[in-house]
Amino acid sequence: MSDESDYDDVVDLNALPDDELVEQMQDDLYDGLRDEVIEGTQILLKRNWKPAVILKDALVGGMTIVGVDFRDGILFVPEVLLSANAMKGGMEILRPLLSATDNVSAGKMVIGTVKGDIHDIGKNLVKMMMEGGGFEVIDLGINQSVGDFFAAIEEYKPDIVGMSALLTTTMPYMKVVIDEMVAKGIRDDFIVLVGGAPLNEEFGAAVGADAYCRDAASTVDIAKEQMALRQAAVS
């Protein structure tokens, strides 16, 4: 997004009008500049922006661009991680304020990396973007068994169960969890989303998930669609 000359310019964030500041924050997030994103977040708060709006416009907006460029092969994992780290910096400021001012949750999700798999970079990105999208997310961590998922379902009563895997050898475990949900007669009580580098839509359908999510940004959209479908079916 930014060319090299941008790095030579010292931008006084305080001097920018709101719209330019948001645009600059998206650029800074894209470039993984955590300190600048934190500073921008603080400035917008001082200007009486609502935390939810800062989150949506500056942070999620910026991270969505990162997601698109990652999908299109313009950005790679290291850059995405730096951007995510910058977004996390802003979110750490906003999170306590959000809980105090914006109690309306878009839905609740439990998410974990399945048994046998310790990879969590993608899962952590999804967690962050889902939180940015207004969802309450309970992160179960890595190497989660059927029992772990069921315990979390019982405890948190989520709307969405999310499963992640990076390995070809571990992705079939998603079917084990879903089959167990079917066996217990609770499958239709939850939206099941699956994701991970070796997965695809065909796999998601074959294991019985509601949807395959190809990246963190699209997960938010898919989750919202699925929630809307579910609510429409109930009403």
Partner 1 sequence: MDNSTATIIPFPTLNIIACGALAKELIALKSLNHLQQINISCLPARYHNTPKLIPDAVDKKIELIKSRNDGKILIAYGDCGTGGLLDAVIEKHNLLQENLVERLPGAHCYQFFAGQQAFIDIQEEEIGSFYLTDFLVNQFESYVWKSLGLDKNPELLELYFSNYKRLVFLAQTNNEKLTKLAETCANRLNLKFERIYTGYGDLEKSLNNFNAGEIPIVQIQPKLYAS
> Residue 57, interface with partner 1 (CB under 8 A)?
no
Taking CB under 8 A as the criterion, the residue among 27, 39, 57, 120 binding partner 1 is 120
Kindly identify the residues of this chain, within the stretch 126-145, that bind partner 1 according to CB under 8 A.
Answer: 142-143
- Retrieve residue 172's tokens: 């079939």
107-114 and 191-195 beta bridge pairing: unpaired
- For position 74 contacting partner 1 by CB under 8 A, the verdict is no
Strands in 107-114's sheet, in edge-to-edge order, are: 135-144, 107-114, 160-164, 191-195, 211-213
Element (H, E) at 24: helix 18-30
Alpha-carbon distance 175 to 108, whole Å?
Answer: 22
From the list 63-71, 153-161, 202-210, 223-231, the region that binds partner 1 by CB under 8 A is 202-210
For residue 21, the surrounding DSSP H or E stretch is helix 18-30
Amino acid code (one letter) for 222: I
Q: Does 7 bind partner 1 (CB under 8 A)?
A: no
Sign of the torsion formed by the C-alpha atoms of 53, 110, 224 and 31 = positive
Nearer to partner 1 by Cβ, of 22 and 37: the residue is: 37
* Binder of partner 1 out of 13, 43, 121, 176 (CB under 8 A): 121
Task: CB nearer to partner 1: give 3 or 202.
Answer: 202
**In the numeric block, which tokens belong to residue 190?**
């939850």
Choice between 79 and 102, CB closer to partner 1:
79
Per-residue binding string, partner 1, 140-179, x by CB under 8 A, is: --xx----------------------xxxx-xx--x----
**Distance from C-alpha of 22 to C-alpha of 15, rounded to nearest angstrom:** 12
**Footprint of partner 1 on 85-114 (CB under 8 A):** 85
**Is the Cβ–Cβ distance between 161 and 110 less than 8 Å?**
yes
The count of chain residues that interact with partner 1, using the rule CB under 8 A, is: 29
Which residues sit at the interface with partner 1, rule CB under 8 A? 76-79, 81-82, 85, 116, 118-121, 142-143, 166-169, 171-172, 175, 197-200, 202-203, 206-207
